Structure 1
């Protein structure tokens, strides 16, 4: 064993307290990247996280919010002038919606409600914000909880997650989804007048493996217009730029998991599988170029891949060097689709924000991925190297595994 290896010590304190980025969002003009930074473990009852921003290619990252509260889910306005986010800065454990100018300043609360919120987004025209909110407890439920009358009746008194839209100017919001359906996800139509939602009958986890429904909601009210039903969940809803198609991830028939990408005409019709011959697993789908194409993150064996998927099913690799490492969550892009960023890691690199540019999607002429943060403070020398190994099963199936080598390993040494 080398002297370098014997001198190294595993620092438990550092490994349980290092900071990790997530939820990367490229600004519409591609100049900035916003992301969330949070320690891997918390030091108090509540999580503390901050929103950071970093220039896309040159310059140091800077903290955008204080990090004294749970700040999360940063979302750029369509014109890139503002950043909306969720925070529990008024009442710890209860999130609300805030908006800050791009250049910093005072965060303004724009939602008159607070509680369990998720999936914040702007409408394409910047007029509205949308968010999923779980129904808060009633005054009677609060009284009973405080009085320790905590008996519960199973499969009753559900707290549904509903879709709200918010006017950031008047700071008023209203629920627009049905009170008796659990909204699992949604997507704005290009004109900002409608949203597609995927729902289940109850909030139970089991429901996402049963029949779910995708419907269209109008911002000005009215009942949902059912579009289709399926077994399993239609995840990552994305509208086409012309508003005529809706893409989503859904089961490929092997397990109830969104492995393939499908598209359906919004006016009705059968689904079209956009990835019928793809051997990998699609993990996330986002709009690209304003919905003119789809941005897909996938796994091929043990490595991640990123593709531009056209509405005609054509796939183009967008990852310099081909599949490698792991992306933690989705990859996002600028409005033009030529600047991409995400959180990436492999066996020799801790998770960090990386970015890369595209030029007419000709990957052979592109720059390699560029690390834009060094938040973990963990050098590659302290991470165990690893390599992919392959073997064939008795049934002739190629199986991949990850061989983790000792820290400081050198080829040919034992």
Structure 2
């Protein structure tokens, strides 16, 4: 839906009503990070280095101010001359660029025609062909080894009904009501998409020059994902759960191969657990993949596995990693696999040999991601730090700590801007568990003064706050706040045992972890402990609502997109897996669900607490926040409920992201004090 007034008008309107205190609103001094900078910031993403290491494809993301959305275009850089060319232009998005084997062409996804479709571009002329014109967006594009074909997956809907009926004949031209939906699945909708039509992901192949009608490779009532070519182009390897009891068996999928001549499928793995992401070795003799054994953990970290291409000689390569590996890619000589991994807030590049020996390739307090490796060992990636948004870098595998910045789109925006300095915090929780966090000082920090502090809690809850740039936090620092973010138990980056800290106990001891972090921040001496605030979204919204029911130490709180009542949530969210986060079903032991629900403690709340929701949220439906809001109103507690139209569990429009920041500031400013000497 298009807004009837501009993003800048929205910002100006909210600033007028957000108060005039030094800790609220847009900064007028040019050396601080004001609200307007959000509209000017850009990002580098999706780096893909050419096979010979001479060129890098990447996307340039920016704000489309007129259409209230993000946009991205495709760029290419010559590493010898450092010349950059723009390959696409316009107000649309480009994603998933991938080189042809001979590096003369690229394939990518673009919504230039209105929906994501596969495009192919000749790099010497920039002539572009739209290869697909599908009703539904394709994904997972891969070149065949000889460059003549592209594989991809697309959702194919099922047109049948589990209970067919036939209406009597109506007159020609009669205007009938819409048909009924007859549902027989355990999950039938997805956040960000809405109602899911019945059907499955299937694999297709298309000519890489002419396009035309894609050839469907797989069929049936099961989904097939992430196809990868064998080096001879005769087979595709893919992941998928071919068991018809989809949704009822917990986290199960296997690796399969399909012969492209006969379309015969061979299942290569057979254990109970989610095996996925097959990666074929350069010589085609081995398959790497990720997974774990099915168990009753709240959440599981994946490991890297290896097997022969016929499914034999399976073995686990990585043991007890701090996080699940990502960006996995074979070494050119087949000696092992490179991967990125988050650990204690940072992300670096690692290597595991085919014998299981692990080595750390890059080092540092930074967040390296999007790794792409050329045949000559040249690496392209993006990097980010506390003080720098995503920027394009390169390095050589034989000199991995010599990281060279290639493109930083935000140098001009941040030039001369004073940012909040960050220090790392380690502290002990109530049971002696060591937990990590970071404390950002106000941008205009002066020794001897005390400042308000905002605790910002991550969602998931199984995720990791990191050392990456965060505009929201730096913008609060510009307004005179200190900002604290923590990784309580349940977070990734510290191993499976740390994740298991919330098994059947969420929320629970993670509350103690967060409070220990607040105490450690106060011990630094510059935090006004009578001027504390707290917010978080999703899992962070859960913990925010839990906090105000268990302590009165915060002056104000904003619970964004929370779960408030587990009993009502598990049957109305967009997936069925949340039942398994409890020891019993809600009809067996409703008390277990009540004891873990913030609603159970709402009568204890004395903190002014605002709720914030997307009206179309299917992950944590708006009814969850409404239960808390209504209870607070019945109890005559101070509260508001901010509802964002047409938003799911995240925010798609730029103006809504700015609104959220401004509503947070307005609520905290209303209930806080100015910084004191």
Conserved? CA contact 2:44–2:409, under 8 Å: no
In structure 2, the partner of 1:143 is none
| Offset of residue 40 of structure 1 | 5.6
User: Please, which of 201, 205, 208 is the counterpart of residue 165 of structure 1?
Assistant: 205
| Offset of residue 358 of structure 1 | 2.6
CA distance in 2, matches of 1:124, 1:177: 20
In structure 1, the partner of 2:330 is 287
Aligned ranges for residues 204-215 of structure 1 at < 5 Å? 209-215=250-256
Q: Secondary structure at the match of 2:138?
A: strand
In structure 1, the partner of 2:162 is none
In structure 2, the partner of 1:189 is 230
CA distance in 1, matches of 2:177, 2:91: 31
TM-score (norm: length of structure 2): 0.53
Conserved? CA contact 1:50–1:65, under 8 Å: yes
CA distance in 2, matches of 1:224, 1:42: 48
Q: Secondary structure at the match of 2:263?
A: coil
| Offset of residue 368 of structure 1 | 2.6
User: Please, which of 100, 109, 113 is the counterpart of residue 130 of structure 2?
Assistant: 109
Aligned ranges for residues 14-413 of structure 1 at < 5 Å? 14-16=37-39, 18-39=41-62, 43-44=66-67, 48-56=71-79, 58-90=81-113, 92-93=114-115, 95-111=116-132, 113=134, 115-135=136-156, 149=178, 151-155=180-184, 158-172=198-212, 173-200=214-241, 209-251=250-292, 256-269=299-312, 271-289=314-332, 291-319=334-362, 322-328=363-369, 330-336=370-376, 338-359=377-398, 363=400, 367-375=402-410, 377-379=412-414, 381-409=417-445
| Offset of residue 81 of structure 1 | 1.0
Gapped regions of structure 1 (runs ≥ 5): 139-145
CA distance in 1, matches of 2:108, 2:394: 22
Describe the superposition over 1:29-80 as per-residue Cα deviations: whole angstroms up to 9, x where unpaired: 1111111223367753876421111233652433111133332211101111
Q: Secondary structure at the match of 1:116?
A: coil
Larger radius of gyration: 2
Cα separation, partners in 2 of 1:387 and 1:193, compared to 1, 3 Å: farther
Conserved? CA contact 2:39–2:65, under 8 Å: no
Counting matched residue pairs gives 396
TM-score (norm: length of structure 1): 0.83
Q: Secondary structure at the match of 1:211?
A: coil
| Offset of residue 398 of structure 1 | 3.1
Conserved? CA contact 2:235–2:259, under 8 Å: yes
Describe the superposition over 1:393-412 as per-residue Cα deviations: whole angstroms up to 9, x where unpaired: 45554321122222254789
Higher helix proportion: 2
In structure 2, the partner of 1:141 is none
| Offset of residue 334 of structure 1 | 0.8
Cα separation, partners in 2 of 1:412 and 1:220, compared to 1, 3 Å: farther
| Offset of residue 5 of structure 1 | 10
Higher strand proportion: 1
Conserved? CA contact 1:50–1:66, under 8 Å: yes
Conserved? CA contact 2:158–2:198, under 8 Å: no
CA distance in 2, matches of 1:202, 1:86: 31
| Offset of residue 377 of structure 1 | 4.7
CA distance in 1, matches of 2:176, 2:74: 38
CA distance in 1, matches of 2:200, 2:447: 56
Describe the superposition over 1:93-138 as per-residue Cα deviations: whole angstroms up to 9, x where unpaired: 2x22221122342101233645311111112222221111122697
